[in-house]
Structure 1
């Protein structure tokens, strides 16, 4: 019934009384992850906001956005039950509406392999960033190495040897090719979640959401993503 979804996929949840604001106002988004898929329900981790677990009451009506490799699927869901698997608190969601493909250009995710440098901000640098939206002029720190495994105009997913605190801010740098231009992107991002990779105890799987992006940077990433997708389709057709 939910063959479009995948275990481990990211989920964004919004209480129906706090719908996404289209005018740019603050959104109250909860972040979760699919743990299991049944015939009529979807088991997810209990969601969090800014690194703090938010316990959902049974019967709560939720607007859910389920991320897959290339698309996002939307459904209105009811919280059917709560539980615990090992040390992980869970929530069972029952979709009340059919899964509908929900795609925006900036959300289209490209599977990729791109080397990246990650620099976490210190507490003092975070204070400056929160006030000014910019990095301090003397911002220099050792870089962590990571590999971007999917990217969109809104954020990215990367594998690294280091775990990052949820809601922390990092500077992430990576190269992309935009038409005949080579760009080395240096972007600020918020850590949505960071957890140990299911296939390797020494690797952490982190999801980052870009913040304070310039319009040009978003547009260039979207152009890069769709150019790469066109190349993939041509190869699949043998062109």
Structure 2
């Protein structure tokens, strides 16, 4: 059942496919962000018509697109065709027929993007870990005793950073960092598990840490994944 994996409110990317890429209409050469409004059957959904710069983008009926859903159960992809569009309660809706099976996407979530970001972190208290395990957001003081280090790559599932101090493997740590180009200057906060710590052979006194997010807001995870692929897209564009 489609509703077992996708739900109203999930964010979704629409990207034109096939001969649509040859169309001179700029709407077919762009990736649009939207939101699932309704699931009417196992092969039909309704999504909010995309907005850009405060304006509605009227995607063409019969246009064929690939979809990437940002679901709470992971990332999923399929293909679709726009069969209708209408207005309801001041909202503009696209009706999509799914033309392929839903497939789980792993690559987007775990693709690692090389970067250089400032990371702030500290050990978590047992009380904080216990609170998060019980779905209660609780931090004694996020800004207390934070140590600074440098992120060298990030993904939707974790990150790697280098520091002049070291945690122990198995530690639970609080981390926060900002993404460049974020208009809201949002600070992304998460609790992480330290998977591996190694001292750099070429730089004694510096320690590489590999960590995995264990408690992270799903909207933050989506923002991070979207940032990674936007940056990767910019790099590919420069190379071509």
Give the TM-score, by structure 1 length: 0.51
Asked whether the 8 Å contact 2:160–2:210 carries over to 1, the reply is yes
Give the aligned partner of residue 111 of structure 1: 114
**Per-residue CA shift, 1:193-226, capped at 9, x if unaligned?**
1121232111000011011222211100001101
Give the aligned partner of residue 154 of structure 2: 151
CA 1:151 to 1:181, structure 2 compared with 1: closer, same or farther past 3 Å? Answer: same
Q: 5+ unaligned residues in a row in structure 1: which ranges?
A: 1-22, 24-101
Q: 2:124 aligns with which of 118, 121, 124?
A: 121
Give the aligned partner of residue 168 of structure 2: 165
Asked whether the 8 Å contact 2:189–2:216 carries over to 1, the reply is no
| Aligned 1:66-215 pairs, distance under 5 A | 103-132=106-135, 134-138=137-141, 140-177=143-180, 180-215=183-218
Asked whether the 8 Å contact 2:160–2:209 carries over to 1, the reply is yes
Distance 2:118 2:142 in 1: 21
Distance 1:151 1:107 in 2: 9
Structure 1 residue 178, shift from structure 2 partner: 6.4
CA 1:181 to 1:232, structure 2 compared with 1: closer, same or farther past 3 Å? Answer: farther
Distance 1:137 1:230 in 2: 39
Structure 1 residue 131, shift from structure 2 partner: 4.1
Distance 1:130 1:103 in 2: 25
Distance 1:181 1:120 in 2: 27
Give the TM-score, by structure 2 length: 0.51
Asked whether the 8 Å contact 2:149–2:163 carries over to 1, the reply is yes
Give the aligned partner of residue 232 of structure 2: 229
Asked whether the 8 Å contact 1:157–1:206 carries over to 2, the reply is yes
Do structure 1's residue 217 and structure 2's residue 220 form an aligned pair?
A: yes
Paired residues in the alignment total: 137
Q: Any idea what SS the aligned residue of 1:220 has?
A: helix
CA 1:167 to 1:110, structure 2 compared with 1: closer, same or farther past 3 Å? Answer: same
Q: 5+ unaligned residues in a row in structure 2: which ranges?
A: 6-104
CA 1:224 to 1:190, structure 2 compared with 1: closer, same or farther past 3 Å? Answer: same
- Bigger Rg, which one: 2
Asked whether the 8 Å contact 2:163–2:207 carries over to 1, the reply is yes
CA 1:218 to 1:208, structure 2 compared with 1: closer, same or farther past 3 Å? Answer: same
**Per-residue CA shift, 1:156-175, capped at 9, x if unaligned?**
00001111111211111111
Asked whether the 8 Å contact 1:188–1:210 carries over to 2, the reply is yes
